Amino acid sequence: MPAPHADGDPMDDKPDSAPLRQLHEMRERSLQGGGPERIEQQHARGRLTARERLALLLDAGSFQELGALATHNVSDFGLEQQRYPGDGIVTGFGKISGRRVAVFAHDFTVLGGSFSEVQSRKICRIQDLALESGIPLIGLNDSGGARIQEGVRSLAAYGEVFVRNVMASGVIPQISLILGPCAGGAVYSPALTDFVVMAGGSTMFLTGPEVVRSVTGEQISAQDLGGAAVHMGRSGVAHLSAADDASALELVKQLLGYLPQNNSEDPPPITPYDPAERMDAALDCIVPETESQAYDMRDVLGHVFDRASVLELQPDYAPNALVAFARLDGFPVGVVANQPAHLAGALDIDASDKIARFIRCCDAYNIPVVSFVDCPGFLPGSEQESRGVIRHGAKIIYAYCEATVPKISIVTRRAMGGAYVAMGSKQMRTDLAFAWPTAQIAVMGAEPAVHVLYRKEVREAPDPEARVAELMSAYREKFFNPYRAADLGQVDEVIEPRETRPRLIRALELLRTKVQQSPPKKHGLPPN
């Protein structure tokens, strides 16, 4: 071994043998991606390279690369001139906050990150190792989709990745970051994973603007077609978004903190930092006295859960429902809530999809579900009925019934009809049901109930309006409180709103060792 150079350059520690020099050269080339010019272009777009992203995501010095020297063997369409070690994807293992993860990162500087047979082989390798080792898989996507020059090879290669996404579903957490254009097949692997996180300026679409224009004549920008605003607000494809690459990567680290390494573990608790017995008097007057007045359910969550622990998913999609991860006394929980500040908290098709999927996610990863109910029922009307609110709404029922994790419900105000049965009732395997004194548990609201029950009587009354008011008041008197449900044992306890936090913490402590079985089956057939 040669003596170190006088100035102590650590590179000079390298043994001076031909095989090692060759390896170092090849490694050096693989670090260059598509070359300095392409890297500059990537930076000019406001985006980081694959390796810069991994450096931000992973604990310093923890990355162990696999497949850095793999290249394609295709010579069609001039590809033989474009061989880059690694072939446009960086794959391997590392740690986030000391916990092991598997990662892959598309390198857009190499052939637009386009998906090749070699890329597939590299991704599949770490998918297999991640599944066998029981550790989360995080994909950093930035790809023009199937590499056009490879033809059917790149299409078949997608199939290899998809089947592994599906086999790993519900076993290890799979998180997809979208950090640039993701087109064609590049959107389906993320869509099969548990969470999609989009960075500002990124896009996801099956067919790009050019193809859309040539096929349909529609002129549309990439952002309007599949930017974060579209997928966070309307399509429901994305769960979280952030301004840029760095903040999207930070969000993923935060998200991972609520998840176990795999489905055989519980999610990791952190050291409690907010008193378990804390009672917040503000909760006692959060529900307005006027029945029709809305309030923001986010305020309720903010007062109940560990300080600053609520991470809301899909905040702009179906805002009439809230789904979030949070912590209680340091333990991760999933939160499902109606949002009275939007559509009075009524459930519709999108809210049903959002809630059902989130519950199944919590159930898969052993995360208890806490539900806050204030819902006048399913949104009525021909638009919802004809688009299938029946089958979508049924997904919520299916998901709650199927879930065997601890489930606790708190009715804060309205729990009408299907919303009560689905979200709050003990019959659907809710373990503990609480209600605030402001709870109203009934089949439907006072006005429709009176019109259904007393139509004839009202029509024949000397003053129909006064009679309706009288009957509505009697209906409210009877049902608009939690005491009938408590009397029948449907509500376990009527609690003061301020007690909610300590009650939930004690309830979760009780349920931590809950074991519940379901009949063995190949799989169920949830409505879709």
Residues near ligand HXC, by CB under 6 A: 111-112, 114, 144-148, 155, 158, 181, 183-185, 188, 208, 210-211
Q: In the complex with ligand HXC, which residue's Cβ is closer, 124 or 270?
A: 124
Separation in Å, CA 319 to CA 210, 236, 316, 337: 32, 11, 6, 10
Is-catalytic flag, 419?
A: yes
- Contact between residue 106 and residue 88 where contact means Cβ atoms under 8 Å apart: yes
Instruction: Report the run of H or E that residue 461 belongs to, with start and end.
Output: none
Q: In the complex with ligand HXC, which residue's Cβ is closer, 158 or 480?
A: 158
- Which residue among the candidates 92, 112, 144, 185 is catalytic per the annotation? 185
Query: What CA–CA distance (Å, rounded) separates 71 from 79?
Result: 11
Strand, helix or coil at 338?
A: strand
- Which residue among the candidates 33, 92, 184, 377 is catalytic per the annotation? 184
Q: Tokens representing 449?
A: 């109930």
> To the nearest whole angstrom, how small is the minimum distance from the Cβ of residue 106 to ligand HXC?
11
Q: In the complex with ligand HXC, which residue's Cβ is closer, 47 or 239?
A: 47
Instruction: Give residue 493's Cα distance to chain centre.
Output: 32
Instruction: Report the run of H or E that residue 191 belongs to, with start and end.
Output: helix 188-192
> To the nearest whole angstrom, how small is the minimum distance from the Cβ of residue 184 to ligand HXC?
2
Q: Tally the C-alpha atoms within 13 A of residue 427's C-alpha that lie toward its C-beta.
A: 8
> To the nearest whole angstrom, how small is the minimum distance from the Cβ of residue 242 to ligand HXC?
20
> To the nearest whole angstrom, how small is the minimum distance from the Cβ of residue 165 to ligand HXC?
12
Is-catalytic flag, 184?
A: yes
- Which residue among the candidates 170, 233, 388, 418 is catalytic per the annotation? 418
> To the nearest whole angstrom, how small is the minimum distance from the Cβ of residue 247 to ligand HXC?
21
- Contact between residue 460 and residue 247 where contact means Cβ atoms under 8 Å apart: no
Q: In the complex with ligand HXC, which residue's Cβ is closer, 7 or 37?
A: 37
- Which residue among the candidates 337, 344, 356, 419 is catalytic per the annotation? 419
What is 212-258 written as a DSSP string? HHHHH-----HHHHHBHHHHHHTS---SEEESSHHHHHHHHHHHHTT
> To the nearest whole angstrom, how small is the minimum distance from the Cβ of residue 188 to ligand HXC?
5
> To the nearest whole angstrom, how small is the minimum distance from the Cβ of residue 151 to ligand HXC?
11
> To the nearest whole angstrom, how small is the minimum distance from the Cβ of residue 148 to ligand HXC?
4
- Contact between residue 54 and residue 31 where contact means Cβ atoms under 8 Å apart: no
**Closest listed residue to residue 255, CA positions, set 213, 309, 181, 214:** 309
Taking CB atoms within 8 Å and a gap of at least 24, the contacts of 396-399 are 396/347, 396/352, 396/355, 396/356, 396/359, 396/422, 396/423, 397/421, 397/422, 397/428, 398/356, 398/524, 398/526, 398/527, 399/355, 399/356, 399/357, 399/359, 399/360, 399/363, 399/526
Nearest-5° Cα angle at 28, 25 to 31: 155
Strand partners, 103: 92, 138
Q: Tokens representing 135?
A: 């550790």
Catalytically active residues, by annotation: 184-185, 418-419
